């Protein structure tokens, strides 16, 4: 449940509120003129809060190449093979 907070409190404590939202998942309803004006909530991922741990299941739901997609697969593999290699040493060393 979002915590009601005045717009004045938001202005005075914005950085702290952002940290609470990002790291604790807090949610706020901003009150201005006695009425709700906005919500401050964590940014949800495109898949409703999916995490790296959900990646395996997400990949299973994606469409797979079939036998008619061999030309596309060959193009992707060719593009991957033609990428420049990374330098051995870092430029600042």
pLDDT tens digits along 2-15? 899 999 999 999 99
Kindly state whether residue 20 falls inside one of the protein's structural domains: yes
- List, in order, residues 6 or more apart from 26 with CB less than 8 Å away: 3, 17, 20
Split at pLDDT 50, 70, 90, the class of 32 is very high
Number of structural domains found in the chain: 2
Kindly state whether residue 72 falls inside one of the protein's structural domains: yes
Kindly state whether residue 45 falls inside one of the protein's structural domains: no
56 and 30 co-located in one domain: no
Q: Is the pLDDT of residue 46 over 70?
A: no
Domain containing 62 equals 52-81
Kindly state whether residue 91 falls inside one of the protein's structural domains: no
Split at pLDDT 50, 70, 90, the class of 48 is low
Q: Give the whole-angstrom CA distance, residue 77 versus residue 72.
A: 9
56 and 31 co-located in one domain: no
């Amino acid at each position: 449940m979002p915590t009601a907070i005045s717009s004045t409190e938001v202005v005075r404590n914005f950085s702290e509120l952002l940290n609470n939202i990002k790291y604790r998942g807090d949610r706020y309803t901003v009150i201005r003129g006695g009425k709700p004006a906005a919500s401050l909530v964590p940014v949800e991922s495109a898949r409703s809060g999916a995490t790296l741990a959900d990646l395996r299941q997400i990949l299973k739901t994606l469409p797979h190449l079939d036998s008619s997609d061999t030309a596309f697969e060959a193009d992707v593999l060719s593009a991957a093979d033609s990428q420049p290699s990374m330098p051995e040493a870092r430029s600042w060393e």
